[in-house]
């Protein structure tokens, strides 16, 4: 008989939690148990190259329902179905438009989700009643091995409680979902740190619904007519998940958007009246009056990969208000800006306009 995997000590400090399930935290060597759980209609958290995902059998309505329940996710926010092989997409969609062929060839496996007209096989729960389905083929080794071994199409949103920052470490997953899922795979490789780029290829021209590591500039090389929503419009319902408060730590976030000197001056002034403030610096401001200063890094890639962990870290230190430095940036900067603005509930001080 196989020995059962070790259960990790619970270190959850999340207020909203139920302990109905005996969550097993395993390493990838026990992956076949997690794959079996997926086949049996259970829930498994696994790492991807973007963030951790909370997976279940995407063609089993009852299993998909468990995802919504575990996350506390509104039922009108559809999920992404993850596949291990490109050819599998044909089972899930009515057609593969030419724009999709180009993108799949260039960016799958990888951090790109495509929205297709859905096939009959795909149910109403996973798509929240839409006539389209989101599909992604991740590149993370553990994710691919799990999907392949389970033999199911794995529906998976980010593995956080609805509204919280997405998890990029197993500790963050445990904080949010311990007792709410069957398995958590303790893996590595969430190196991108922000969720996948989402492109709707069910319409012509294709539309960028969520910016991510596959950038608008890169997409335009293949699809010159792609339409990108403006930052504010990305809150609009075509990508239903984008309308909810997202990525938010408990602390109140203010984005200070502007040239380096001005934003530092502005933040220093704000800190004078705030005993419990933190600063997320970008390219190195010095803030003596802040209770906690976290360096977002020297590049937008670094800002992206650390963003969600940094936001959670401010909460761990009981910071009440966070000032996050940000500046104009294309490429990956667009994705960082999108998540940061949502984390701030669009509380943005634009110093370029002043
Ligand atoms: O990187 C990622 O995409 C991660 C990992 C786990 O793969 N997953 C992820 O899933 O971020 P989630 O559920 O947190 O975000 C999926 C987004 C939501 O904004 C959702 O509304 C949108 O994709 N979406 C899903 N199906 C859609 C559809 N048929 N049409 C439009 N938007 C859709
Ligand atoms: Mg999410």
Task: Report pLDDT for 12.
Answer: 43
Is the CB of residue 119 less than 8 Å from the CB of residue 93?
yes
Q: How far is the CA of 80 from the centre of ligand 1 (A)?
A: 5
Q: What is the pLDDT of residues 131-147, one digit of tens each?
A: 999 999 999 999 999 99
Considering only CA atoms, which residue is closest to atom 32 of ligand 1? 239
Q: How far apart are CA 169 and CA 25, in angstroms?
A: 13
Q: What is the pLDDT of residue 127?
A: 97
pTM of the model as a whole: 0.92
The beta-strand segments (E) located in the chain are: 24-26, 44-46, 53-57, 80-82, 112-117, 132-136, 154-155, 183-185, 197-200, 207-210, 227-228, 252-257, 277-281, 292-295, 321-326, 348-350
Q: pLDDT truncated to tens, each residue of the chain (354 aa)?
A: 344 444 444 444 444 445 578 999 999 999 999 999 999 999 999 999 999 999 999 999 999 999 999 999 999 999 999 999 999 999 999 999 999 999 999 999 999 999 999 999 999 999 999 999 999 999 999 999 999 999 999 999 999 999 899 999 999 999 999 999 999 999 988 999 999 999 999 999 999 999 999 999 999 999 999 999 765 444 444 555 555 567 788 999 999 999 999 999 999 999 998 999 999 999 977 999 999 999 999 999 999 999 999 999 999 999 999 999 999 999 999 999 999 999 999 999 999 976
**Ligand 1 pocket check for 241: Cβ under 6 Å:** yes
d(C-alpha 247, C-alpha 314), whole Å: 13
Query: 160-172 burial string, b = 16+ CB within 10 Å, else e?
Result: bbbebbbbbbbeb
Pocket test for ligand 1, best of 158, 235, 238 (most atoms within 8 A of CB): 158
DSSP character string of 292-316: EEEE--SSHHHHHHHHHHHHHHHHH
Token pair for residue 350? 């634009």
DSSP tally for the chain: helices H, then strands E: 10, 16
What is the reported pLDDT for 14? 44
Q: Tell the residue nearest (CA) to atom 17 of ligand 1.
A: 241
Q: Is 186 in the pocket of ligand 1 (CB under 6 A)?
A: no
């Amino acid at each position: 008989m196989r020995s059962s995997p070790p259960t990790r000590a619970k270190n959850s400090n999340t207020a909203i939690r139920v302990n109905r399930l005996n969550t097993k935290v395993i390493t990838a060597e026990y992956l076949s148990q997690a794959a079996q759980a997926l086949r049996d209609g259970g829930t498994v958290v696994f790492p991807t190259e973007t963030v951790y995902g909370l997976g279940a059998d995407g063609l089993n309505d009852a299993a998909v329902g468990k995802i919504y329940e575990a996350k506390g996710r509104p039922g009108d926010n559809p999920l992404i179905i993850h596949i291990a092989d490109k050819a599998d997409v044909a089972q899930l969609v009515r057609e593969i438009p030419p724009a999709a062929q180009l993108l799949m060839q260039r960016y799958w496996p990888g951090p790109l989700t495509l929205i297709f007209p859905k096939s009959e096989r795909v149910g109403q729960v996973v798509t929240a009643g839409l006539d389209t389905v989101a599909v992604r083929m991740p590149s993370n080794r553990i994710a691919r091995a799990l999907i392949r071994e389970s033999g199911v199409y794995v529906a998976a949103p980010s593995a956080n409680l609805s509204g919280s920052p997405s998890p990029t470490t197993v500790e963050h997953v445990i904080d949010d979902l311990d007792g709410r899922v069957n398995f958590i795979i303790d893996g590595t490789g969430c190196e991108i740190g922000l969720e996948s780029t989402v492109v709707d290829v069910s319409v012509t021209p294709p539309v960028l619904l969520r910016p991510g590591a596959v950038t608008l500039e890169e997409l335009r090389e293949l699809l010159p007519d792609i339409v990108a929503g403006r930052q504010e419009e990305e809150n609009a319902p075509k990508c239903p998940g984008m309308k909810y408060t997202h990525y938010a730590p408990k602390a109140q976030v203010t984005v200070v958007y502007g040239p380096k000197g001005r934003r530092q001056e502005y933040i220093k002034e704000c800190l004078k009246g705030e005993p419990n403030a933190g600063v997320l610096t970008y390219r190195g401001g010095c803030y003596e009056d802040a209770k906690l200063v976290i360096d977002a890094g020297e590049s937008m890639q670094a800002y992206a990969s650390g963003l969600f962990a940094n936001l959670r870290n401010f909460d761990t230190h009981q910071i009440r208000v966070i000032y996050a430095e940000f500046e104009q940036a294309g490429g990956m900067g667009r994705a960082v800006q999108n998540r940061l603005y949502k984390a701030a509930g669009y509380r943005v001080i634009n110093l370029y306009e002043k």
